[in-house]
Amino acid sequence: MNELDAVWSKMLLQAIEKANAEGRSDVADYLRLKAANDAIRQASIGWIFDTLVEIAGDANRSNSRISIEREDPYRFTYRGSNMAGSLLRLQQGVRCLTLEAGWTRTPSDGFMRGGALAVARITHLGMSKANVELFLQKRGELPVWSTMKDEKPGNIVRTETLREHFLIFTGDRL
């Protein structure tokens, strides 16, 4: 969690306490839901980034010479909305794979389409057909990343899905 997210979490907790003290249980309930959803978003984005970094790290232990860069905080535009989140960039020679993930934080950022908690985008430099948009949604009690087709969830993203994108990136699978 970066410093901005820590400050935001503290402000949210203070707002919940204030709403409770003023007898505004409706506002406190909304803020608790927001805090819970933000925690789910952070953990889910953490999982997808950590998994891709682990895959790249394993390759680097075999002398693949992949540079791994992370930018956090990071902002990007997604379908007309402004997302706040993180960027992961893997580079090997001229090849580049990026993973952007985030969500709208304020009303002026826009809104999350299709009931998504967060969105992510995997981009392969020069190979646009391999690019994919991901959608974080609760299925039952669990958050699940899935591919997105026409703003509807598709296949569930697993570690193997990320490994496939990594192999496309390294040229071991086209």
The range of the structural domain enclosing residue 125 comes to 44-170
Q: What is the pTM of this model?
A: 0.84
Number of H helices, E strands in the chain: 3, 7
User: What are 99-122's pLDDT values in tens digits?
Assistant: 999 999 888 999 888 889 999 999
Taking alpha carbons only, the member of 51, 31, 42 closest to residue 4 is: 42
Say whether pLDDT at 127 is over 70. yes
| Domain count for the chain | 1
Tell me what pLDDT residue 50 has: 97
**Mean pLDDT, all residues of the chain:** 89
User: What are 75-91's pLDDT values in tens digits?
Assistant: 999 999 999 999 999 99
Within a domain: 6: no
Measured distance CA(42)–CA(33) in Å, rounded: 14
Tell me what pLDDT residue 85 has: 95
Within a domain: 37: no
Helices (H), the chain: 3-21, 25-60, 159-170
Within a domain: 124: yes
Within a domain: 93: yes
Within a domain: 101: yes
Measured distance CA(133)–CA(113) in Å, rounded: 13
